[in-house]
Amino acid sequence: MADDHRMLELIGVSHVYVNDKGASLAVEQLDIAVHRGEFVSLVGPSGCGKTTILSMLAGLIPPTRGQVLLGGDAVSGPSTKVGYMLQQDFLFPWRTIRDNAAIGLEITGRKTPEALRRVDELLAELGLPGSGSRYPHELSGGMRQRVALARTLATEPDILLLDEPFSALDLHIKLQLEDLVQQTLRRLGKTAMLVTHDLAEAAAMSDRVIVLAANPGRIVAEHVMPDELRSASPMDARRLAGFQSIFDQLWAELEAAEGAEGGDADE
């Protein structure tokens, strides 16, 4: 059963949310496998279950049916193997950049002087040299998101879950960060799953893109990106000849997925 190349796996996974209004099937019968070092994006209309999928992988909610595996082991709760990066940076304003980036180390009892030196190195590698003793309000949105990335990487997770981490940023900062994140995750050999509503971002950053439809959340298409796009940086990939046709295809699939939805689409 265990395949060491499979870092992350959903097998026949469904999730039902139950609350005072009743039960709703958020995602149904998902089969997804992501290999070590792979970068996979999830795209799809609002409500198709992207955050639900990441929450199950992060061990925050259990699947109602099916199996969620990390490195071949069933997920039973949050794990230090997994880092989660969100749209909002959630930096604590009263903590320095270094202490914000080190919070995961602190919570897991690993905040040693050596680990703090590693945090400073990470900040420098992410383009924030010497910023450890500054405070979040002194930093721009793009710099803060770099701190959030340093915080996510500081605990050395094998797997990164990225839920729209660039969507609050200005376009040119976003493009710079896409390059930085892809380059950094590749260099460190991390496995990543990115949720984004930006199809160009998905096509430019990923090895593979999975398209979901909603009500219930399910997979409707899957694309392995061609080698020439994968080997280019996200910024350069956008300028390659093959990029537009993939973008158009994803666009058409997303429109079809939105059309396939039941009448109560929110947002």
Q: How far is CA 122 from CA 25, 110, 116, 156, in A?
A: 41, 16, 10, 11
Binding test (CB under 6 A) with ligand ADP, winner from 46, 140, 231, 245: 46
Q: Which is nearer to Mg ion, 57 or 116 (CB)?
A: 57
Answer whether the bond into residue 216 is a cis peptide, omega within 30°: yes
- Please choose, out of 16-24, 67-75, 101-109, 177-185, the segment that lies near ligand ADP by the rule CB under 6 A: 16-24
Per CB under 6 A, does 48 bind ligand ADP? yes
Q: How far is the CB of 173 from Mg ion (least distance, A)?
A: 22
Alpha carbon distance, N-terminus to C-terminus of the chain: 41
- Please choose, out of 19-27, 115-123, 170-178, 181-189, the segment that lies near ligand ADP by the rule CB under 6 A: 19-27
Per CB under 5 A, does 52 bind Mg ion? no
Residues 18-37 that bind Mg ion (CB under 5 A): none
- Please choose, out of 44-52, 129-137, 178-186, 216-224, the segment that lies near Mg ion by the rule CB under 5 A: 44-52
CB atoms within 10 A of CB 23: 10
Binding partner of residue 19 among Mg ion, ligand ADP, none, CB cut-off 5 to 8 Å per kind? ligand ADP
Q: How far apart are CA 177 and CA 50, in angstroms?
A: 21
- Please choose, out of 46-54, 143-151, 219-227, 238-246, the segment that lies near Mg ion by the rule CB under 5 A: 46-54
- Cβ distance 107 to 83 under 8 Å? no
Q: How far is the CB of 47 from ligand ADP (least distance, A)?
A: 4
Residues 197-226 that bind ligand ADP (CB under 6 A): 217
Helix (H, G, I), strand (E, B) or coil at 138: helix
Host H or E run for residue 141: helix 141-154
Residue 185's nearest CA partner among 100, 125, 102 is: 125
Q: How far apart are CA 50 and CA 70, in angstroms?
A: 18
Give me the amino acid identity at 220. V
Q: How far is the CB of 259 from ligand ADP (least distance, A)?
A: 17
Q: Where are the alpha helices (DSSP H) in 9-112?
A: 50-57, 97-101, 103-107
Joined together, the tokens standing for residue 155 give: 């605990």
Q: Which is nearer to ligand ADP, 185 or 212 (CB)?
A: 212
Give me the amino acid identity at 267. E
Binding test (CB under 6 A) with ligand ADP, winner from 14, 41, 52, 191: 52
Q: How far is the CB of 102 from ligand ADP (least distance, A)?
A: 29
- Cβ distance 71 to 4 under 8 Å? yes
Per CB under 6 A, does 17 bind ligand ADP? yes
- Please choose, out of 43-51, 143-151, 202-210, 249-257, the segment that lies near ligand ADP by the rule CB under 6 A: 43-51
Tell me, by CB under 6 A, how many residues bind ligand ADP.
12
- Phi, psi of 205, deg, nearest 5: -95, -25
Interface residues with ligand ADP (CB under 6 A) are 17, 19, 24, 26, 46-52, 217
Interface residues with Mg ion (CB under 5 A) are 50-51
